[in-house]
Amino acid sequence: MARRGGQTHFGYESVRLDDKQGRVNDVFHSVARRYDLINDLMSGGLHRAWKDALVMAVNPPKSDRPFTLLDLAGGTGDVAFRVVDAGGAGTRVTVCDINADMLAVGRERAAQRGLDGVVAFDEGNAEQLHYSDRSFDCVTVAFGIRNVPRIERALEEAYRVLKIGGRFLCLEFSSVDVPGLDVLYELYSFQLIPRVGQAVAGDREAYQYLVESIRKFPKPNVFARMIEAAGFRRVSFTPMTGGVVALYSGWRL
């Protein structure tokens, strides 16, 4: 997305920033039960390896030592379940998402896994979290930060709810930096994904938005500076798969 005079470039439209959240909600209402399919289409199935790298960076304790994680925009629970599987008996995850349809999918999956008391699902806005200051050991967001209308506010809130010594980790699509691969990725993203979305899910517009939102997201060095501006220290980012995605890290010190 790109902000222009109080507007955000949403897909191929210009939409007022204040209206963007409603439009994003519409998109994810449409695709909630096909979100895993979307991730497969957007990443060629590689999102699983990228999320494994995120969980490895989280490194939840494998003991019964209490460890609390807040996963923002993680409604279907994919990252939350991975963290619980990697951690010990003391690991607890709260999933916060603004979209009730995504959360409904997550709750169903948690019940199927017997994790009702381990993973909690809360409806909330990343720009105005209802959690107390210094509540969590770690805050994560995977492929969701680019859909937040006011990213700076979400970063400030993530900083606020982190304990001293806590870590913020963000996995997001990025800018391909390998000559040749960038052209192929652009072709795949803007020509094939919307068509496949139409054929498989009957919703070309939602897939078109998701692809376009990647293009409009800040470059890695710019987003890293935004994380620093929110108060985080020792900020870094690691490109993966030729820059298709980047894993960002920052600490509250």
Q: Any idea which residue has 């985080």 for tokens?
A: 232
- In DSSP notation, 107-174 reads HHHHHHHT-TTTEEEEE-BTTB--SPTT-EEEEEEES-GGG-S-HHHHHHHHHHHEEEEEEEEEEEE-
**% of residues, the chain, pLDDT over 90:** 57
In a domain, 9, yes or no: no
Question: Is position 231 within any domain?
Answer: yes
Q: Decide: helix, strand or coil at residue 98.
A: coil
**Residue 41 pLDDT:** 66
Report the C-alpha gap between 180 and 242 in whole angstroms: 11
Mean pLDDT of 65-74: 97
Is 46 contained in some domain? Answer: yes
Asked if the structure places residue 75 within a domain, the reply is yes
Q: Where is pLDDT greater, at 10 or 160?
A: 160
The closest of 138, 127, 142, 139 to 51, measured between CA atoms, is 142
pLDDT per position as a tens digit, 230-247: 999 999 999 999 888 999
- Which CATH number does the domain housing residue 38 bear? 3.40.50.150
The domain total for the chain is 1
Return mean pLDDT, the chain: 84
What is the bridge-based pairing of β-strands 136-142 and 162-173? parallel
Per-residue pLDDT at 26 exceeds 60: no
What domain range includes position 150?
32-251
Lowest mean pLDDT, pick from 9-18, 34-43, 57-66, 165-174: 9-18
Q: In the sheet that 233-240 helps form, which strands lie side by side, from edge to edge?
A: 119-123, 91-97, 67-72, 136-142, 162-173, 245-251, 233-240
Instruction: Return all residues near 192 (Cβ < 8 A) that are at least 6 apart.
Output: none
Which tokens hold the place of 11? 């897909």
Check pLDDT > 50 for residue 134.
yes
Q: Can you tell me the mean pLDDT for 162-167? A: 98
128: in domain: yes
- How far is residue 183's CA from residue 169's CA, in Å, rounded to a whole number? 28
Helix (H) or strand (E) holding 235: strand 233-240
Whether 74 is in a domain gets the answer yes
Residue 82 lies in a domain: yes
- Looking at the domain assignment, is residue 3 inside a domain? no
Q: What is the pLDDT of residue 50?
A: 94
Phi, psi of 171 (to 5 degrees): -110, 125
Other C-beta atoms within 10 Å of 224: how many?
A: 20
- Nearest C-alpha neighbor of 173 from the set 242, 97, 104: 242
Q: Supply the pLDDT for residue 205.
A: 74
